[in-house]
Amino acid sequence: MSASRPLHFSKMHGAGNDFVVIDLRGGQPAPPAALVRTLGDRHFGVGFDQLLTIEDSHALDCVARYRIWNGDGSPAQQCGNGARCVAAWLRRDGAATGSRFRIDSPAGVIDVECLPDGRYSLGMGRPVFVPARVPFHAGGDAPVHELLVEGSPLRFGVASMGNPHAVVEVDNVDAAPVHRLGPALQARPEFPEGVNVGFAQVLARDRIRLRVFERGAGETLACGSGACAAVAVLVRQGRVDRAVQVELPGGTLAITWPADDAPITMAGPATFVFEGEFAVATP
């Protein structure tokens, strides 16, 4: 009979983008990829879009560090909805006190503000459009690029929010071929690290609708970094203003980019769903 040990976790979501959060502070090792895949299975495990691990930070001004793991066990670089959930988890834990604090992410330090209405506002850094830094192998630094995808020209903008994004503007996001063009664009060799693909419908200068097909996760109900990238790309193309409500399938995020040389801020909810324990087999 094999032995097992309980792994405590929190199930959370940010605008429908759902996570399992585990505490690895104190020097505990990162979970092996096989365990991540098992936890992420919605039939045989717990189920999540990403796993978040809370860890000790080496940055003295940060209350903790977190890392992000996709359902296939691969590491991810950034997740805005996950960062809000980490912030809420640390507040509940007592590690973060006061209305403002900093957390350490795979893409750098994030400034957190706890808003009076219970939402969290995060400084997500400045968007990067230089193709080589996205990374995207393109012929120039243009607001709009075009590639043949499945035999047809596809126009899109690119940006990095600490992870790579391509943003396709569509007339109707409900009818957008997200599950066909998303993986097809991800597989293009011009994106050597893959890419998160957003499909954006502009409703007004201050409001868009968005669906995102993520690397390692597929389509999720919300993508915080994708919302930031969509607004940044559309601002650069002159399609929207600098304060935009982004309607995602799981909820709405408020994205603000005050100026080209300023960081983007994202405000949205973070919700605790339940606490649980998962039996992990021990060798």
CA distances for 115 relative to 62, 65, 112, 141, 269, angstroms: 19, 21, 9, 37, 10
Q: Which of 235, 76, 269, 115 is nearest to 167 (CA)?
A: 235
**Does 214 appear as a known binding residue?**
yes
**Does 172 appear as a known binding residue?**
no
The crossing angle, in degrees rounded to 10, of helices 80-93 and 224-236 is 130
**Does 77 appear as a known binding residue?**
no
Helices (H), the chain: 33-40, 80-93, 178-186, 224-236
Q: Which residue has the tokens 């193709």?
A: 131
CA atoms of 12 and 58, how far apart (whole Å): 25
Which residues are designated catalytic?
A: 79, 223
* Gap between the terminal Cα atoms of the chain: 11
CA atoms of 253 and 281, how far apart (whole Å): 39
Backbone dihedral region of 108: left (phi > 0), alpha (psi from -120 to 50 degrees) or beta?
left
**Does 10 appear as a known binding residue?**
no
Three-class DSSP category at 241:
coil
**Does 50 appear as a known binding residue?**
yes
CA atoms of 51 and 39, how far apart (whole Å): 8
Rg of the chain over all Cα atoms, to the nearest angstrom: 19
CA atoms of 12 and 18, how far apart (whole Å): 6
Q: Which of 136, 108, 151 is nearest to 194 (CA)?
A: 136
**Does 194 appear as a known binding residue?**
no
Q: Which of 91, 17, 27, 99 is nearest to 58 (CA)?
A: 27
- Point out the annotated binding site for substrate: 17, 50, 70, 80-81, 163, 196, 214-215, 224-225
- Point out the annotated binding site: 17, 50, 70, 80-81, 163, 196, 214-215, 224-225
